[in-house]
Structure 1
């Protein structure tokens, strides 16, 4: 039985490559929380807080047990009888989901990203290929459409931030190879999606300058400065300001 759980986008469960439909927001939130636990126990209190927030039902423990029972039935329906009995484990303080092998996409992404980072200095071509593979696992914002509370939100933020780091590294590798012009369109897209993310703006400045477009590079800096000042009351970091001054001087080291 080949079962895969995907969280890098909307929650997705696939059995032998085919989608399994886990219906009901509470079941889906419970499944996500157990997957994020990665085989460790998630307490009943945490699960209740994440599933119901500030409005828990009376006899919340019984209500949680009912959601667990429905999830077990759903998993057995799609993944085979006995799948949940062996893996969705009741413990004194909570529940855990014990899976075999790399069957969760965010774990695969993190493993690939770590490998790409190790390869960056010695084998940039291989590093870039591994980054492409890692980024190809994403189907949208992490945990998109999943409810939940602090645990789900913090996990989504952490995963999305790591994706942005992987995108930064991908651009950096292309720049090391002199492919500045090839990154301009993607960096324009990224700076529109993440206008407060200074590294993308800095990389766009470099790509434009190195492509013979210094005026546009300075425009990219001023757009960033306007957004930062308007949204946060901040100036760009000293490193970005230094990059801007180098471009003004037509310093080819910029």
Structure 2
């Protein structure tokens, strides 16, 4: 987790402080109840002093923002509500919110302005600097958010490379797809896109070999065969289906 104010990076020490800030950031502008925050910090077995401890953590978090950011007004970023606490910032100041907004805008413009959609998706995936919320504890809010954010990220990459395959020469997108497929070997859509790019670049043998390696990997690690989408693309490549070149 990272906080930046006017170019100044603010380190938030302590997992519990980061957990609180993460939970508030994921509901930016809306109140997160004290009970939700207590569950996030201590799970099903909170201490008897949980409410007082939460109040103390909030006070410490405000002090950290002021001390490390050098502005007394930063304490007002965390507001107290009748039921809990609110992170009082615009949504666009939170990377997670920006990610959703950028992907939504890309989807809305992909048909009419594919290059604009590519730019938006590139901006979306560039927000990532590692696994989301990895240092913000194991509370349910952060765990659910991690899963959701990872799904949106992978979906953004899928959309991005679909568009790039339509706009660029297939050879240009092969390195990026190769890296994604190596990093996520169980994510079949990346393999499907990669073998399509290889085929369109005149590398049919490499496309078929990539498919067979993926099929073996899925069988060994999951005991499964490739899904319909990947199998259909493989068959299209085998028979050199005309629609592949027309589609891209």
TM (normalized to structure 2)?
0.90
Match for 1:157 among 147, 153, 156? Answer: 147
Segments of 5+ residues of structure 2 without an aligned counterpart are none
Verify the 8 A CA contact 2:4 2:10 in the aligned structure 1: yes
- Structure 2 match to 1:206: 196
Q: Compute the RMSD of aligned alpha carbons.
A: 1.8
Match for 2:227 among 220, 226, 237? Answer: 237
Segments of 5+ residues of structure 1 without an aligned counterpart are 1-10
1:26 aligns with 2:16: yes
- Structure 2 match to 1:63: 53
Q: Distance in 2 between matches of 1:186 and 1:65?
A: 47
Moved over 6 A (4+): none
- Give the secondary-structure state (helix, strand or coil) at the position aligned to 2:162: helix
Q: Distance in 1 between matches of 2:60 and 2:203?
A: 59
Verify the 8 A CA contact 2:185 2:214 in the aligned structure 1: yes
Q: Distance in 2 between matches of 1:87 and 1:20?
A: 14
Q: Distance in 2 between matches of 1:100 and 1:184?
A: 38
The alignment of Structure 1 onto Structure 2 pairs a total of residues equal to 243
Q: Going by fraction, where is helix more abundant, 1 or 2?
A: 2
Q: Deviations over 1:75-97 (max 9, x none)?
A: 2222621432x332223432221
- Structure 1 match to 2:186: 196
Aligned in 2, Cα 1:27/1:222: closer, same or farther, shift over 3 Å?
Answer: same
Q: Deviations over 1:203-233 (max 9, x none)?
A: 0010111111112111221222223223333
Q: Deviations over 1:41-75 (max 9, x none)?
A: 22222212221235533321111111111111112
1:80 aligns with 2:71: yes
- Give the secondary-structure state (helix, strand or coil) at the position aligned to 1:102: helix
